[in-house]
Structure 1
């Protein structure tokens, strides 16, 4: 699809529906579909616009005019009435045909050979009515109507139109024309480089808007569980849990509630704190930061994990009891809850929430199977639920973050069971890539090569994050000029600085392009969880750097997955 996402200014529900159909239909693989193609040098008017231009190898080119009106008629005087629009003498079929000839004129001026080779035709799609009106001014097969769309895919319908057109033009009925190369040339002539080489900032903004729109579809989960004062939302990475947690906090804030929104790791805590700072009555950040505040304590310079896990919660609970500071919040929202299911943490949260965890209002979001990386929890979800009666658990299974290629790859290599029920994103961008290294120096060379490719393709440093399961990572060993462009994620980064972090620290966050480095094992619960968490972070591209000794294991996982797929 060009453009890859439908613009927010597209008001026609018919165009919106057909855009989704063209994008998602397996039968259109290998086609190029141009949406909203402007024709400033139109043959019959000042300028025009073709709703869709389909360029299909071996079939031809189709200009498709879309009419989404719920009523279509032609008066006795020959004028057309489309919905509530004013009467017009211009037939939708004539409109589509003029667009086709205008398009061919442009193509002949730029690429005569390909223009002469392509079979071009025009058709009209009436997306909301059953249009079966006989006439001598158009062929029945030049119509795609609501009944057709209910019975067949858009790929099948367009193929049918172009096959009929080919039969009408025996002098052009050459098998395999236009070829894939000719189609590529046609697309390049009609919509050249400025859209392909889209600026990184615009690409990033569009991707962010797209991600948000798919996550907002998940808000229905909050709507469906809104009557429950206490609920657990569980789901694998990429199902929108963090944004749903923010939305739950926003809704509670709008109702005048005092809200505590917490998570475990520092980088995610900083992010949700920034996102929630405009919400009235919402306190957001890490649980440990909140406990430090409640206890009035200062973190020791040499604080250990045991201090955060046991001593700090005791200090915070004691301070609350002494100050009668319990029940401060009306609503508790916990993100990445699998890391906070620990007796000492739960005791503190129980005191902080009005009514406590048994009777208060709270919402937990977590991936309780794969992303418990901090070894902080000592209470399973089942144990937590068993201690409290009638707590509903809502399963989130639709991936909103990753492209289908990345989601399928992650499912395959991390052995995710059950797999995602759906992937909301369109399938764009490159497939995940694995590069194998034979030592530290070799890995550094491989990482530098990929970074150079990304920069050459227009990526900016802020688009890229390097993640490693170990602190002594390859990012710290890269030579100049790359070492000057790298800094720990979370620091203030300019557009040309690349962030790096451990997988554990980056959990709950995402980035357009992720390089997962220093992979030396993929089997075992711990290694599999780290690998799964790291590879589910990217929204656009995934690059993995694995020790060469893992090549056979990774290929074996791929083969096993492909063999087990029902449709394989």
Structure 2
């Protein structure tokens, strides 16, 4: 049996009625031509006119043999007519409808000459004069007149009766002459020309950028929620990871400040506070961690000596006492991000920050993951905060959202983002985590065109991060983020690599935070047991 390109015709091709004639020829050539023959179906080409203009065309079939040569075949179905007065060819289908068609002889001949020139330009094309011929098949025509013109002799055509002996017609078209044999080497070059496999790499940076753009377009859709509670002074907005709480908190604070209110946005993480400062620069919003806030208020109120930094357990008391001594230090509006991280004693002082003036605003944004943070509704009810729930994940791709949900127990969330790339689980021995992560960072930057500033490497502890950062000190890696998972709360990157050490498997809160930080691409590197725990949320063996 001949070697066919393609090996099998797809069902979609066979279902096209307009290809019925070509399919009949394809099956006949496949069944009748023996070993050594190669048949290429539907080979398009791009050529040039004498003036250099581009022209395109297609050869319905190219039939080749190392000893006999190459035959270019054009196939036209239906009843065929040619009017020399207008030089017009037509085909009439079974329904009696006529269609203007191109000159099949000219098409076959042009394909022959164009592809011969292209073959000669290929590296390795053998020297010699090889048999390149052309022909036309009319599968729905009974016979062709003996003479159709000097460029259209009878032997150039095959019709319906010849289909049962198509191999004989092919052999006849390639007979005669003293041409050189193409040989196996020439066949290989011809195959490279007409059936060259193509594999063009699409860097991961491109697809992730598309996913990220879709996510960026989704995020502002949450802003309508701000309109819904803009007249409510005291609200608690809850949502799982990816629901846009930090984005909303920033926009909320911006609007409050724009309305003329002295506005504070506070959180627990220094890294998150720094990010929010950049987002809200020139907005008039004061952004501060609770520790920074307590130190400043205590100093201004005379509660703390200059340069004194209170211990963490002293912070709520310092804030409360400072407000008691200086009522003017209170704010018109207070927005709290990652509110679930503040202790009940801290909330007493936060409440005081916004309760010393009539109509003061207190908006708290917290994570609704009851598994990790418990039922916070009753806690916020004590401060008369009206609950509002976010139900749509607008930050992560669906695959990343699914990975995160293994550690989420709370009100249902819907992932609106694109499907995205699958989460990568790179298993390695404990001692190979840093080396494997190092290789992944280099692969993303060097092979996948990812920008270093789009990558965050997260770890349960700072020790492993320091060693990894030392290995990536080259300028090409400048902009990479190395952070503990705790410090990266509320933040995100397009690409996140998690160092899944055994410390992580004992901390479901860290796992939840780590898995949800990536917008478009997530990789976890670690021992099989830890990765299995992350993937299945099952106890370690």
Matched, 1:445 2:440: no
2:332 is the counterpart of 1:330: yes
CA contact (8 A) 1:468 1:517 kept: yes
Counterpart in the other structure of 2:240: 236
Cα distance change of structure 1 residues 105 and 210 upon mapping to structure 2, 3 Å threshold: same
Q: Deviations over 1:395-415 (max 9, x none)?
A: 112111111111112223x2x
8 Å CA contact 1:466–1:499 kept in 2: the answer is yes
Q: Equivalents in 2 of 1:310, 1:555: separation in Å?
A: 36
1:467 shift after superposition: 0.6
The question of 1:349 aligning with 2:350 is answered: yes
Q: Which residue of 2 aligns with 1:361?
A: 361
Establish whether residue 387 from structure 1 lines up as the match of residue 387 from structure 2: no
Equivalent-residue separation in structure 2 for 1:248 and 1:330 (angstroms): 13
- Render the CA deviation track for 1:39-80: whole Å, top value 9, x for unaligned: xxxxxxxxxxxxxxxxxx85479xxxxxxxxxxxxxxxxxxx
Q: How many angstroms apart in 2 are the aligned matches of 1:320 and 1:310?
A: 17
User: How many angstroms does 1:354 deviate by?
Assistant: 4.4
3-state SS, counterpart of residue 250 of structure 2: helix
Q: 1:510 Cα shift?
A: 0.3
Q: Match of 1:285, SS?
A: strand
Structure 1 residues 396 and 464 mapped into 2: Cα distance closer, same or farther (>3 Å)? same
Aligned counterpart, 2:391: 397
Equivalent residue in structure 1 for 2:521, among 535, 541, 557: 541
CA contact (8 A) 1:485 1:497 kept: no
Whether 2:464 is the aligned partner of 1:462: answer no
Q: CA 1:209–1:279 in structure 2 vs 1: closer, same or farther (change >3 Å)?
A: farther
Distance (Å, rounded) in 2 between the aligned partners of 1:207 and 1:387: 41
CA–CA separation in structure 1 for the residues paired with 2:294 and 2:510: 27
2:422 is matched with which residue: 431, 435, 439? 431
- Tell me if the contact between 2:494 and 2:521 (Cα under 8 Å) persists in the aligned partners: yes
8 A Cα contact 1:509 1:537, kept in partner = yes
Contact 2:211–2:397 (8 Å) recurs in 1: no
Q: Residue 484 of structure 1 corresponds to which residue in structure 2?
A: 473
- Once the two structures are TM-superposed, the CA of residue 384 in structure 1 deviates from its matched residue by 2.7
**Does the CA contact (< 8 Å) of 1:336 and 1:366 recur in 2?**
yes
Match of 1:484, SS state, is coil
Shift of 1:500: 0.8
Aligned pair in 2 of structure 1 residues 321, 478: CA closer, same or farther (>3 Å)?
Answer: closer
The match for 1:530 among 501, 507, 510 is 510
1:240–1:59: structure 2 CA closer, same or farther, 3 Å change rule? farther
Q: CA deviation at 1:504?
A: 0.4
Q: Secondary structure at the match of 1:218?
A: helix
Q: Which residue of 1 aligns with 2:286?
A: 283
The unaligned stretches of length 5 or more in structure 1 are: 1-56, 62-102, 117-136, 138-184, 374-378, 487-493, 560-568
Report how far residue 267 of structure 1 moved: 0.3
Q: Structure 1, residues 304-350: CA drift from partner, whole Å, max 9, x if none?
A: xxx44322332333233223334x3211111101112431x223323
1:501 match: secondary structure: strand
Structure-to-structure mapping, 1:95-494, within 5 angstroms = 109=56, 196-197=202-203, 209-280=213-284, 282-296=285-299, 297=304, 307-326=310-329, 328-343=330-345, 345-355=346-356, 360-369=360-369, 381-389=376-384, 391-412=385-406, 414=407, 416-418=408-410, 421-428=413-420, 430-440=421-431, 442-455=432-445, 456-473=447-464, 475-478=465-468, 482-485=471-474
8 Å contact from structure 2 (residues 532, 538) kept in 1 = no
* Cα shift readout 1:490-535 (whole Å, capped 9, x = no counterpart): xxxx8634221110000000011111104316666xx111101001
Paired residue secondary structure (1:541):
strand
Q: How far apart in 1 are the matches of 2:248 and 2:361?
A: 16
Shift of 1:240: 0.2
Count the aligned residue pairs.
Answer: 365
Q: Give the aligned partner of residue 177 of structure 1.
A: none
Q: How far apart, in 2, do the equivalents of 1:451 and 1:500 lie?
A: 12
Distance in 2 (CA, whole Å) between partners of 1:255 and 1:188 is 59
Q: Give how far 1:551 is off.
A: 5.5
Q: What is the rounded CA distance, in whole Å, between the counterparts of 1:411 and 1:331 in structure 2?
A: 33
Q: Computing the radius of gyration over CA atoms, which structure comes out larger, 1 or 2? A: 2
Q: Deviation at 1:209?
A: 4.8
Task: Say whether the 8 Å CA contact 2:500–2:530 is kept in structure 1.
Answer: no
> How far apart, in 2, do the equivalents of 1:426 and 1:476 lie?
34
Alpha-carbon contact 2:261-2:332 (below 8 Å) kept: yes
Inter-partner Cα distance in structure 1 for 2:530 and 2:61:
47
Q: CA–CA distance in 2 between the matches of 1:114 and 1:188?
A: 21
Distance 1:380 1:497 in 2: 39
| Unmatched tracts of structure 2, length 5 or more | 1-9, 15-43, 48-53, 63-71, 73-96, 98-194
Kept in 1, the 8 Å contact 2:369–2:410? The answer is no
Measured in 2, the distance between the counterparts of 1:383 and 1:247 equals 26
Please, what is the CA RMSD of the aligned residues?
4.3
TM score, norm. by length of structure 1: 0.55
Give the superposition deviation at 1:439.
2.4
* Deviations 1:107-135 (CA, angstroms, capped at 9, x unpaired): 9959978999xxxxxxxxxxxxxxxxxxx
Among 498, 501, 524, which residue is 2:480 paired with? 498
**Gap change, CA 1:471 and 1:405, over 3 Å in 2:** same
Aligned-residue offset at 1:287: 1.8
TM norm structure 2:
0.58
